[in-house]
Amino acid sequence: MSEIIYNIKDHIADIKFNRPDKGNALSNKLVKDLTKMLEDADHDLDVKAIILSGKGKHFCSGGDLNDFLALQDKTVEQNYEEIESSVKLFSFGFKVRTPIITSIQGAVRGGGLGIVALSHLSIAEKNATFALPEIKRGLFPFTIFPLLARAVGAKKALELSLMSTVLSADKAKEWGFINEVVDKNPYERAVEIAQYLVSKSELAIRTGLETYNRITDYGIGIFEHAGLLRALTFKSEEFRKGVEGFLKLKR
């Protein structure tokens, strides 16, 4: 079964995470496939908007901890190679010129916040919650931090990262992290927005997003540095204990 479902219809690229039994956790394969799909869609002249959503109860529960734990047995150099795919995905948020709309339900954790932050417009169901639990596992959300800082400001991004603050959908909207809160069917609203954007000037939108990228650009080097720090942290004993303890609680 494919971990992502990808379709193009009426100038809209529809990308759905397809790991509902895992809370749409970001496996290494999913991250690589998602990056390629986003790049392909952004370069496809027939695509004028992109919708990201997740099948099942939750939009995205963050990185796959089993994949993370496997990094303990690899060298720092090997870890950096693995992490390069995440660096490539999240740094793409500062390059993409096709509007990305996210449809959000349930839990959004860890890297899932990075997915929302790289999007341009986000619609959340009332029951959605947002949090970064990484610090509890002996990790810092390195590779998504620049995107979070762009979305809500550096101080609020730091609060989310250090305190694992859980935001309700309404609070996330108040912070400017998402754009709209709906009682149900955020995907339908996302489609409405995508259709609206498809009907507008493609040149105006693409050049507008290029301008947005330039005024919010932290520099790609920050992602490479964050990726290296992340690779080092994956080798720590605190990280191993934190992740193993959490996985035991889930069993």
Q: In sequence order, what DSSP letters do the residues of 57-123 get, joined into one string?
A: S-SB--B-HHHHHHGGGS-HHHHHHHHHHHHHHHHGGGT--S-EEEEE-SEEETHHHHHHHHSSEEE
Under CATH, to which class is 4-198 assigned? alpha beta
CA-CA distances (angstroms) from residue 110 to 26, 50, 105, 115, 149? Answer: 10, 22, 15, 9, 14
Output the pLDDT for position 58: 97
pLDDT digits (tens, 9 = 90+) for 107-123: 999 999 999 999 999 99
Q: Is the dihedral of CA 182, 37, 21, 67 positive or negative?
A: negative
Q: Are 191 and 51 in contact (CB under 8 A)?
A: yes
Cα 151-153-158 angle, rounded to 5 deg: 105
Give 129's strand partners: 107, 168
pLDDT greater than 90 at residue 180: yes
pLDDT digits (tens, 9 = 90+) for 5-61: 999 999 999 999 999 999 999 998 999 999 999 999 999 999 999 999 999 999 999
pLDDT greater than 70 at residue 227: no
Q: Which amino acid is at 83?
A: I
CA 224 – CA 156 distance, rounded (Å):
22
Domain ranges of the chain: 4-198
**What tokens appear for 87 in the block?**
């660096």
pLDDT greater than 70 at residue 247: no
CA-CA distances (angstroms) from residue 190 to 7, 111, 119, 196, 197? Answer: 15, 21, 12, 10, 11
Output the pLDDT for position 215: 80
CA 186 – CA 191 distance, rounded (Å):
9
Question: What H or E segment, with its residue span, contains residue 174?
Answer: helix 169-174
Q: Considering only residues 162 and 78, tell me which one the structure prediction assigns the higher pLDDT.
A: 162
pTM: 0.86
Output the pLDDT for position 57: 97
pLDDT greater than 80 at residue 230: no
Going by pLDDT thresholds of 50, 70 and 90, the confidence category of residue 139 is confident
Going by pLDDT thresholds of 50, 70 and 90, the confidence category of residue 161 is very high
pLDDT greater than 60 at residue 69: yes
Going by pLDDT thresholds of 50, 70 and 90, the confidence category of residue 84 is confident
Going by pLDDT thresholds of 50, 70 and 90, the confidence category of residue 214 is confident
CA 166 – CA 94 distance, rounded (Å):
26
pLDDT greater than 80 at residue 67: no
Output the pLDDT for position 68: 63
User: Among all chains, which residue has been given the structure tokens 């992502």?
Assistant: 4
Output the pLDDT for position 237: 72
